[in-house]
Structure 1
Amino acid sequence: METKKLKNVWNFIDEISDDEEKDYFELDDILYNISMKIFDYRTSNGLTQKQLAEKLGIKQSMVSKLESGEYNPTIEQLWKISKKLGWKFNVIFEESNSIEANVWDEVDIQSEDLDIKFDEKLVENA
């Protein structure tokens, strides 16, 4: 039996997508990273969506939308969330290189390696 290796999904997307679709995938990736960061915080702290909502001063339905990635929060909303959770929040704009390189070709990236927009601060227990 012959074994075939599947193509890298990002190469496949690059091949079949136009620029608008690629932009959609890029935004979707950002929203996914945000949603997973919030979900991971909630589950690692043993909180329900309702409990996290109370901590953040928002409705449970908004936590659900944030965790599912179906909501595109504003910078101000993300900043407020980060403050309430004790996280450092950064937004970084960088110039694109003139030579386009597809890093997905070179590196096998795991989910924990993905760039996220805010990091937890170390907080000492008093």
Structure 2
Amino acid sequence: MSETKKKSIKGCHTFDEILDVEYGVEGTPERKAFERGAEAFILAERLKEERLKAGLTQEQLAEKIGTKKTYISRIENGKADVQLSTLFRIFEGLGKKVCLTIL
């Protein structure tokens, strides 16, 4: 990180200001890419959290929903895109329901 960027970040007072300096202001391609990555990370962490709460291994969950352990692992590690229908199946397998909100 450049000295200029470090000084800019030190002058920030809010998290949004830090995001603006580090990834660009809202609406820029860089910021959109960061936000997509952050949303994917949050979803992956939520999946892992719910799987652990259910007391299931990746292999058990995969077997329950008819997929492979490696696929569950890849999703949890942010290495795979997941189709919506598969996402619904995964959370159903965990006894959960997925609701989408369009903003």
The percent identity for this pair of structures is: 28
Could you tell me which residue of structure 1 aligns to residue 61 of structure 2? Answer: 52
Q: CA deviation at 1:80?
A: 1.9
More strand by share: 1
Structure with more helix by fraction: 2
Q: Deviations over 1:19-44 (max 9, x none)?
A: 11111111112111211111112222
**TM-score, reference length from structure 1:** 0.60
For residue 35 of structure 1, the aligned residue among 44, 54, 71 is: 44
- The within-5 A match list for 1:6-21 is 8=14, 10-18=16-24, 19-21=28-30
Residue 10 (structure 1) shift: 4.2
Q: Distance in 1 between matches of 2:16 and 2:73?
A: 28
Secondary structure (helix, strand or coil) at the match of 1:87 reads coil
**1:61 match:** 70
RMSD between aligned residues: 2.4
- Whichever residue aligns with residue 56 of structure 1, its letter is I
Taking structure 2 as the reference length, the TM-score comes to: 0.71
Where has structure 1 moved over 4 Å in runs of 4 or more?
6-10
Equivalent-residue separation in structure 2 for 1:45 and 1:85 (angstroms): 6
Q: Distance in 1 between matches of 2:56 and 2:88?
A: 21
1:63 Cα deviation from its structure 2 partner:
0.8
Partner of 2:85: 76
Q: Number of residues paired by the alignment?
A: 91
Structure-2 separation of matches of 1:47 and 1:57: 14
**Which one has more relative contact order, counting CA pairs under 8 Å at least 6 apart?**
1
Amino acid of the residue matched to residue 65 of structure 1? R
Q: Which residue of 2 aligns with 1:86?
A: 95
Structure 2: 5+ residue stretches without partners = 1-9
